[in-house]
Structure 1
Amino acid sequence: MAQDHPLRPWLEQQAERIERLCEARGLWVQCQGGVVTPRLVRFHLLVHPSIPLKRLLSLEEEMALALEAPRVRFCREGGLLALELPRPQPAIVALLPLQASLDPLPPFTALLGRDSAGAPLLLRLSSPEVTHVLIAGTTGSGKTALARTILSSLALANDPDDLRFLLVDPKGQGFAPFQGLPHLAAPILRQGAEVQEHVGRLLQEMAWREEAGIRRPRVLLVVDEVADLLATEPTLAEPLTRLAARGRSAGLHLLLCTQKPTAEALGSLLRANIPCRLVGRVVSAQEAVVASGIRGTRAEQLLGRGDFVLVTGGETIRFQAAYIHGQEILAMVEMLRDEHLKQGQATALRAARRVPLPAHWVTRLLGSLRAHPSETGQAAGARRSR
């Protein structure tokens, strides 16, 4: 932790409290630095080899009380043991300045936010460990906001001729700001009949692409509250399952949001074919297992409001989701639509040559928003990619 960090007095006080409580319980533990992220503080712990990990884990409630925190969480990454707790004044991880600070993202890669070490976390749709994504969590966990972040990040980094979106928004609120985005393969869908029609067309497209050996343009089908949609339109379960099972080879991907990621709500085959999970706060350890597909994520201890764990390839990474305001999305859509219309023939030529969008687009958008301020936050370097 930086010597001149504004939270330094508080950090030193908390480190002393951690060591004192452990000493009172007969445990030899020392705090050896850590990381301060926009949402969390992570204390790195040096623990005597004779101390069983279970004894430390049993102290979580006592530790939260001693640190005056709503909850704390012990976690292990490799050979590092750490204690995570909320920072007293959390900061927003704003998508636009963070993405503007990075090198151009690889194709079909979204910026999720910052991981528990403070580094930007990327998600590559074309990776075999990703392909399809399920976002799960209770109300207030930030599911729809995270889906909007993923869509915005992808739209800013990929040409509409390389990546298209098909958005299903039964409530008509979550994805409304994206109406008019040049990446949309159709207007935003709300009614069951039109969803059935377009999903059926995707199945035909998949069959044609498999026969022709074609993957581009990639298509991302995004459904908000998919369990509710399947409850009213149960016949959609079979085509969604087919897309999940065979879509990757045809360049077709799913991004599904739900509060109820159970096999009863989604179908066991659909769940089994979604390898990547983004899990927000849930109410119990049992629901954390249901949402993530594995034990030990401890998603029931997350803070909500964008605090997520990424589960893919047997690895679990906690992160704070980046945020983009609705007004920022509207400005992005207007800019991308205007640029797409202006370029005309040049757009088709660029797509044919596989030349990415100019890297300065995000910076230009950020500059225009600073002229008309909305919600923004910090930025820094890059690390992980999935």
Structure 2
Amino acid sequence: MTNSNTAAAMSDTTSQMSGEPIWRILTGFGIFALGVFLCGAVGYYDPQDPSLNAATGNDVSNLFGMTGAVVADLANQILGWGGMLGAFLVFAAGLKRMLLIGKPSASNWGLGFLSVLAASTCLASWPIPNSWVLATSLGGMTGDFLFGLARLPFAALRVPYPDVVAGVAAAILSFFLLTRAANLENRDLTRLSRLFFRNVGKLLALLLLPLGPVGRWISRNMVAGVEKLKSSVSGLVGGLFNRERDDYPYVRGAITPDADDDYGYFDYSKSQREAEQAEAPREADTKPETKAQPEAPRTQRRQRRETPKAPRVNKAGLPSLDLLVTPPARTGTVDEHLLLERAEHLMRILNEFGVKGRITQVRPGPVVTLFELEPAPGVKSSRVIALADDVARSMSAISARIAVVPGKNAIGIELPNKSRETVYLRTLLESPSFNDGKQNLPMALGEDIGGEPVCADLAKMPHLLIAGTTGSGKSVGINAMILSLMYKLPPEKCRFIMVDPKMLELSIYEGIPHLLSPVVIDPKKAVTALKWAVREMESRYEMMSKAGVRNLAGFNEKVEELKRTGGRLTKEVQTGFEADTGRPVYETEEIPLEQVPNIVIVIDEMADLMMVAGKEIEACIQRLAQMARAAGIHLITATQRPSVDVITGTIKANFPTRISYMVSSKIDSRTILNEQGAEQLLGMGDLLYMASGGKIKRLHGPFVSDEEVGQIVEFLKSTGEPDYQTDITEEPDEDPFGGGGGGGSPVMDAMLGGNEEADLLQQAIQIVVRDKRASTSYVQRRLKIGYNRAASLIEQMEDMGVISAPNHAGKREILRKAPGEED
């Protein structure tokens, strides 16, 4: 355990003690003192001491004098040897109360008292030794009376040996009640039973060894029998005493441990569990190999399955994992006592705010710890969620996130750890979930609360919307997503269009072979690039329609099939019109049998683009988000300011998959995720991931440094030159009188209003040329439009040479003649 964790445990204990009423400590000390007196008095019992039942003239030998002798005589007369058990229970209860261990419960006292009575009943069935001088049995008067009642039903049923059966039943009942009072659990009882039978078997084997070969044969069979009995009794004891702790506000056994019970009660990270198992291998590993090999232990099977293959650089030029920093080994252990104290402290705080319930599960992770609260009936979850800031303040935490756990009657309370671990990108790229080959466009998103790697398929998202303030880890997360794709897909399978208005975050990727165009930093060219993506999407849809496939993956498979069979793939292209009839002329053009790559468009800052060309950007993104999935075009957009004017309802509706890093307010959190909680994140890669189903999961994003990104970029540059397409950022040629504001796509023209603007401009030209009046107010009145729009039309006509610039008086000349007018 590290010093920081020790200090945290001490600080938590101190805070707990300062918050406890002093009367509990004082009463606990009084009960503890009473227990010491009872243990000393009963332990030093001597029948020859003077007491209420024996008026002897002997000196008192009891440790506590005459009072101790009287108390000891009464305890033995009433409870027999069971009085010693009762004295010890008083001692343990006082010590526990004085040290503020657990939650006070009156039921424990009742269970302990019943356990003493059951023990006295069992002792009453024992044979009385010669040293026992009292008139009662070993169970005292109480034991005699209860034993007489206990044996009656067995005698009436004519059970053989009713005294023995009644005594055994009383012993089991006493043990059961004692475990309830002492808060022992299934795990503890199973360990005790295994330890008992293990030692009994070894002892019997040693005693039989002197008998020679016969003794060894008997010992081998006896040990095997004892092992079977151990397993049976362990399961019986565990099932008999498996319960939930009602006196504590949490359940330590909420998480099922492994078969060998080598772990703690908490579901901590898999890497830590494997590290502990590696240090303590099981006995099955040491068996000789002469016989058939037994099934490997679960830990070894998991380690073999999770061992990544050595990274290789194939002809496609995929980078090696050696370019990434090797993460340090995680050696941190889970302090169960500290977690239990935090759970108790949290439950007390919730009780102070009037929230009743119990904590059923504690799940520590690399960054935060999740406490699952099962609220009492009638407690509203919204009331508990609203206490996030108060819980964080009371727990001395930076922040606290409270949300309903989907699919369970529980509310999750996430509190940051005293010391957080860093999640590295290399760890995720080596994980089985990233290398299982089931994902077409795998992206490493991070680790969940339990430390398990989480990867997602961009092809299934199919677009991703990201929000986060400065310093939240958003840019590092985008770099990790981009590098994840580059580690899996060569340029022939995945190409990028990167838009970086800030000119800082994505410019480092300039020159890699995955790029379709240089990194776009001009917002106006970004609009052009998005229009090109729309045209490319429509072209791919036409191509897939001709090939008879439904998506890009099917088209690529069709291409491979035609290459094997020697087939052809053609499409009809319009080349012009017939001079006589005006009918369109088509030519058959052969489609190259080449693999069509996926295109990932990464936009680093949406707010800048929306300020420059909001309507055009929104129309393009809407068009791509609605239809580009089947064409293999995917969007990753990010913004620092997730306000409604940036993430509009249209954009939000078409991005079902979203990621929110830390944001500044609850309003921003609701804008991006439809619920609050992102404002309570810790920053530095802490995020909330909402999949397309609407379920929100907390992840911790991976860290990748600028040096690592630079090394990978340099490696990719060394594998080949980029093949840029110059038409991506260039506007297509348009007819100034014919419109086409959408960049050549009829659908985009309609969405952006290009045809409407062109028709309106033609009407304005006709009005001005015919009426010989070129003023903004006249065009406004005739076309019934706004002043700004009319002024824009006047400026366009001036640029086109229809009218002249205004003179000193503000009047303009008409430079174009009306149809039929003589020069």
TM-score (norm 2): 0.39
Report if aligned partners of 1:115, 1:319 keep a CA contact under 8 Å in 2.
yes
- Give the superposition deviation at 1:192: 3.1
Q: Within 2, Cα distance between the matches of 1:50 and 1:225?
A: 45
Look up the match of 1:107. Answer: 440
- State the match for 1:256 in structure 2: 637
- Conserved in 2, the CA contact under 8 Å of 1:133 and 1:256? yes
Q: Percent identity?
A: 28
The correspondence of residues 1-386 of structure 1 with structure 2, limited to 5 A, is: 1=266, 5-24=333-352, 27-49=355-377, 51-77=379-405, 78-79=407-408, 80-103=410-433, 104=435, 106-127=439-460, 130-213=461-544, 215=552, 216-234=596-614, 235-292=616-673, 294=674, 296-311=675-690, 312-339=692-719
- For 2:351 and 2:646, the matched residues in 1 are separated by 47
Q: CA deviation at 1:304?
A: 2.2
Higher normalized contact order (CA 8 Å, seq sep 6+, divided by chain length): 1
Which residue number corresponds to residue 346 of structure 1? none
Please provide the CA RMSD for this pair: 2.5
Question: CA 1:253/1:12 → structure 2, altered by over 3 Å: closer, same or farther?
Answer: same
How far apart are residue 12 of structure 1 and its match? 2.9
Matched letter for residue 341 of structure 2: Q
Shift of 1:135: 0.4
SS in 2 for 1:134: strand
Please give the per-residue CA displacement for 1:57-97, whole angstroms capped at 9, x wherever unaligned.
Answer: 35433422332112212222221432111111112111112
Which is worse superposed, 84-93 or 69-78? 69-78
Deviations along 1:207-255, whole A, 9 cap, x unmatched? 1101011624110101111111221244443323322222112111111
Classify 1:249/1:263 alpha carbon distance in 2 versus 1 (closer, same or farther; 3 Å): farther
**Structure 1 range deviating more: 117-126 or 167-176:** 117-126
Q: Rate the CA distance shift 1:267–1:47 in 2: closer, same or farther, 3 A.
A: closer
Q: How many Å separate the matches in 2 of 1:264 and 1:327?
A: 36
Name the SS for the 1:249 alignment partner: coil
CA contact (8 A) 2:402 2:677 kept: no
- Secondary structure at 2:515's aligned position in 1? coil
Q: Is the 8 A contact 1:137 1:258 kept in 2?
A: yes
Secondary structure at the residue paired with 2:444?
strand
146-155 or 39-48, larger mean C-alpha shift: 39-48
Amino acid paired to 1:291: I
Deviations 1:178-232 (A, max 9, x none): 2233222222111234434433322221111010116241101011111112212
For residues 537 and 704 of structure 2, the distance between their equivalents in structure 1, rounded to whole angstroms, comes to: 32
Q: Tell me the SS of whatever aligns to 2:412.
A: strand
**1-structure distance, mates of 2:633, 2:340:** 50
CA contact (8 A) 2:465 2:638 kept: yes
Give the deviation of 1:290 after TM superposition.
1.4
One-letter identity of the residue aligned with 2:368: L
More helix by share: 2
**DSSP-derived class of the 1:264 partner:** coil
Deviations 1:88-115 (Å, cap 9, x if unpaired)?
A: 1112111112211335152212110012
CA contact (8 A) 2:541 2:631 kept: yes
* 1:317 alignment partner, SS class: strand
Q: Which amino acid aligns with 1:190?
A: I
Opposite residue 16 of structure 1, the aligned amino acid is E
Task: State the match for 1:359 in structure 2.
Answer: none
CA pair 238-10 structure 1, distance change in 2 beyond 3 A = same
Are the counterparts in 1 of residues 366 and 450 from structure 2 also a CA contact under 8 Å? no
Change (3 A) 1:55 1:239: closer
Gaps of 5+ in 1: 342-386
Q: Report if aligned partners of 1:138, 1:283 keep a CA contact under 8 Å in 2.
A: yes
Q: Which amino acid aligns with 2:442?
A: T
Question: Of Structure 1 and Structure 2, which has the larger fraction of its residues in strand?
Answer: 1
Cα drift, residue 153 of structure 1:
1.0
Counterpart amino acid of 1:43? F
| 2: CA distance, partners of 1:182 / 1:211 | 27
**Contact 1:109-1:125 within 8 A present in 2 as well:** yes
Offset at residue 51 of structure 1 (A): 4.0
Alpha-carbon distance in structure 2 between the residues aligned to 1:12 and 1:100: 34
Q: Matched residue of 1:211: which SS?
A: helix
What's the CA shift for 1:117? 3.4
* Residues 204 and 121 of structure 1, relative CA distance in 2, 3 Å threshold: same
CA distance in 1 between counterparts of 2:664 and 2:609 reads 22
Q: For residue 358 of structure 1, what is the aligned residue in structure 2? A: none
Q: Deviations over 1:147-203 (max 9, x none)?
A: 111111111122221111111111221113322332222221112344344333222
Contact 2:366 2:449 in 1 (8 A): no
Q: State the one-letter code of the partner of 1:283.
A: S
User: Letter of the aligned partner of 1:84 in structure 2?
Assistant: E
Q: Report the Cα offset of residue 6 of structure 1.
A: 4.5
Q: 2:500·2:604 contact (CA, 8 Å) conserved in 1?
A: yes
Q: Taking structure 1 as reference, are residues 44 and 205 closer, same or farther at Cα in structure 2, changes over 3 Å only? A: same
C-alpha change, 1:60 and 1:191, in structure 2 (3 Å) is: closer
1:339 is displaced (CA, Å) by 4.9
Higher Rg: 2
The alpha-carbon distance between structure 1 residues 331 and 29, as it changes in their structure 2 partners (threshold 3 A), is: same
Q: Classify 1:172/1:9 alpha carbon distance in 2 versus 1 (closer, same or farther; 3 Å).
A: farther
Q: C-alpha separation between the residues in 2 aligned to 1:198 and 1:65?
A: 48
1:28 to partner: Cα distance: 4.6
Q: Distance in 2 between matches of 1:270 and 1:52?
A: 33
> Could you say which residue in structure 2 is the equivalent of 1:365?
none
Higher mean Cα deviation, 317-326 or 19-28? 19-28
Contact persistence 2:618–2:650 (CA under 8 A): no
* Offset at residue 52 of structure 1 (A): 3.9
- 2: CA distance between counterparts of 1:181 and 1:7? 47
Amino acid at match of 1:310: Y
Report the Cα offset of residue 278 of structure 1.
Answer: 0.8
Distance between the aligned counterparts of 1:270 and 1:328, measured in 2?
Answer: 33
**Higher deviation after alignment, 204-213 or 281-290:** 281-290
> Given that residues 263 and 271 in structure 1 are in contact (C-alpha distance below 8 angstroms), is that contact kept between their aligned partners in structure 2?
no
